[in-house]
Amino acid sequence: MDEPTDLGKAHLRVVRPSDDLSANVKFYRDGLGFEVLYEFRDHDGFDAVMLGRKEAAYDLAFVHKGGAQGGTGSE
């Protein structure tokens, strides 16, 4: 039987689409004090920003596909 997973080493990433990455940064970084941990532009047509705290076991990522609609800013 396999050993149980050590959840103390787990990391949670919540990813969601967004039409306005700059609004997400403004809300989570400027408003709530999160750090921009990573971001990229135009990777196979996608832009993304990951926000959180370096020492935390979670982060939030927001992704935008160029020309796509349907995500919702920072709600």
* Segment 26-66, tens digit of pLDDT: 999 999 999 999 999 999 999 999 999 999 999 999 999 98
Options 1.10.150.530, 3.90.1300.10, 3.90.1150.10, 3.10.180.10; CATH for 12-65 is 3.10.180.10
Confidence of residue 7 (pLDDT cuts 50, 70, 90): confident
44 vs 5: which has the higher pLDDT? 44
CA–centroid distance for 62 within its chain: 4
* Other Cβ atoms within 10 Å of 63 Cβ, number: 18
Q: What is the per-residue pLDDT for 68?
A: 54
* pLDDT higher than 50, residue 72: no
* pLDDT higher than 60, residue 1: yes
